[in-house]
Amino acid sequence: MSFWRYLVDEKIAAPARQFSDDVVKPVADEIDHQDVYPVYLVEQTAKLGWNAMTLPTRYGGQGESMENALGVFEELGAGSASLGVSLITILQSSKIIELYGRDSLKERVLPRYAHGLRASYALTERGHGSDIRTLDTKARGNERDGWVLTGEKAFITSGSRAEFFVVLAETPVGVSTFAVDRDAPGVSTRQTREAQTFGLRNGPHVNLVLDDVEIPGDALIGVEGNGLRQALVTLSNSRTLAAGISLGIARAAFDDAFAYVRTRPAFDGNVIDFQGIQWYFAQAAAEIDAARLVTYQAARDLDSGGDYQRSSSAAKLLAAELATKVASMAVQVCGATGTQETSPFGRYFRDAKAYEVAGGSSEVLKNTIAKTLIKSAR
C-alpha cells in the first residue's frame, strides 16, 4: 500500500525502502528460522547512518528527528522485524546516555554507536518485568569512587551479540542506570530455554550475569536513584519506534496478501473479486492509515516535548494490535498458502503478536494512557 509521503522526508525514507526491499527481505525468513542476530545487516545499517540517526552530529550521529527515524524503522520493519528490534535496542541505549550521561561518558561511548556498536538495554529481571520499582541487581560504591554491580538481568533482547549494555540496578538511594562494557571482568551471558521466542527472533534472549563488575564513577548515567524516570522517558522513544515496526509488519502482510488475492483464481474470477475479501482490505487500509497518523504524532511529540508518554503508548497499543489483526487476515484470505512455512505470513503473524507483549504489553500501555488521562483531569 502507498506510503504517506508527507509524514517523513522522502530523501530519508526512499533509501531505507530500497534497502529493505533489496537487502533485508530476501534474508528475513532465514534470520527468523535460524533465530540469529543479523550482524551483517546491522553493520550495513551502521554504514548508512541509521544506527545513530538521532544522535547529535558532534558524536558522529545524523542529528535526525524522531519523525524521520520512525520512517526508517517502518521501512525496515516491513522487511524484517528482527532487524528493527536489533536497531531499537541500539537507539534505546544511546538515547539514555545522550539525555542523562555525564559529558565524559558521552565523549567516550556515543561515537562508538556511529561506528556500529552493538548495544542492548538490560532492564528486565526474572521477577521484575513491567514493575521495575525494585530490582534484585544491586550496585554499591567502591573505594575508587566507582561502582560494583552484582546480579542477573533476564530476557535481554539483542544480548547474544551485544558489545555494550545499559543496565538498571538498585543502589541504596533507588533504581539507577549504569553503562557496562561486555568485556568488563565479571560480565557474562547465558542462554535459557525459556528465552527462545516464537516471534521477533534476533538471536535467543540471554540472561546478563554481573559478578562483582567494577565500573568507573561516570558509568552512573544521570542522578543516582533516577533510573525509573529515565526508563520511562527512554521507553517512550522505543515504543514509538516499535509502533513503526508494527506498521511495517502490517504493511508487508497487507501488500503480500493483496498481491496474492489479485492473481489467485477462484471460481469465475480471482479471490479479490469477492466483495467480502474487498471489505477485509478496505478496513485494513483505513486502520493502517489511522494508526500511522497516531504513531507519527507520537514522534512529533518526542521531537517537540509534547505529551509523548500518552501518544507513544497509544501508538504502540494501536499499531501492535493492528499488525496482529492484519497478519491474521492475510493468513485467512490466502488460505492454504497463508499457512505454508515457505510463505512469510506465519512470520508476520508471530512477529506482530510478539510485539503485543514485548516492549510494553497492551495492558501496561492502557494503564499508562489511563494514568495520563486521570492526571490531566485533576
Same domain, 269 and 298: yes
Same domain, 105 and 13: yes
Number of structural domains in the chain: 3
Q: What is the pLDDT of residue 145?
A: 86
Q: The domain spanning residue 172 has which CATH number?
A: 2.40.110.10
Q: Is 375 exposed, middle or buried (0-12, 13-18, 19+ CB in 10 A)?
A: exposed
> Domain limits at 78?
5-114
Same domain, 45 and 179: no
Q: pTM (2 decimals)?
A: 0.95
Please tell me the total number of residues recorded for the chain in this structure.
Answer: 378
Q: The domain spanning residue 22 has which CATH number?
A: 1.10.540.10
Answer yes or no: is pLDDT of 178 > 70: yes
Answer yes or no: is pLDDT of 179 > 80: yes
Same domain, 134 and 97: no
Q: State phi, psi for 320 to the nearest 5 degrees.
A: -65, -45
Same domain, 51 and 165: no
Same domain, 177 and 303: no
Same domain, 159 and 284: no
Q: What is the mean pLDDT of the chain?
A: 94
Same domain, 276 and 322: yes
213: pLDDT confidence band, cut at 50, 70 and 90? very high
The answer to whether the Cα torsion of 144, 212, 167, 375 is positive or negative is negative
**Domain boundary, last residue among 88, 114, 140:** 114
State pLDDT tens for residues 119-139: 999 998 887 666 677 789 999
Same domain, 203 and 89: no
Map 184-199 to HEC letters. CCCEEEEECHHHCCCC
Average pLDDT rounded to a whole number, residues 95-103: 96
Answer yes or no: is pLDDT of 257 > 60: yes
Average pLDDT rounded to a whole number, residues 158-164: 93
Q: What DSSP letter does each residue of 214-228 carry, written as one string?
A: EE-GGGEESSTT-HH
The answer to whether the Cα torsion of 253, 256, 259, 263 is positive or negative is negative
State pLDDT tens for residues 334-359: 999 999 999 999 999 999 999 999 98
* Percent of the chain surpassing pLDDT 90: 85
Average pLDDT rounded to a whole number, residues 196-217: 92
**Domain boundary, last residue among 175, 209, 227:** 227
Coil, strand or helix at 37: coil
Same domain, 278 and 371: yes
Answer yes or no: is pLDDT of 142 > 90: no
Same domain, 171 and 47: no
377: pLDDT confidence band, cut at 50, 70 and 90? confident
Answer yes or no: is pLDDT of 365 > 60: yes
Average pLDDT rounded to a whole number, residues 313-333: 98
Same domain, 354 and 262: yes
Average pLDDT rounded to a whole number, residues 313-319: 98
283: pLDDT confidence band, cut at 50, 70 and 90? very high
**Domain boundary, last residue among 198, 227, 256:** 227
Q: The domain spanning residue 240 has which CATH number?
A: 1.20.140.10
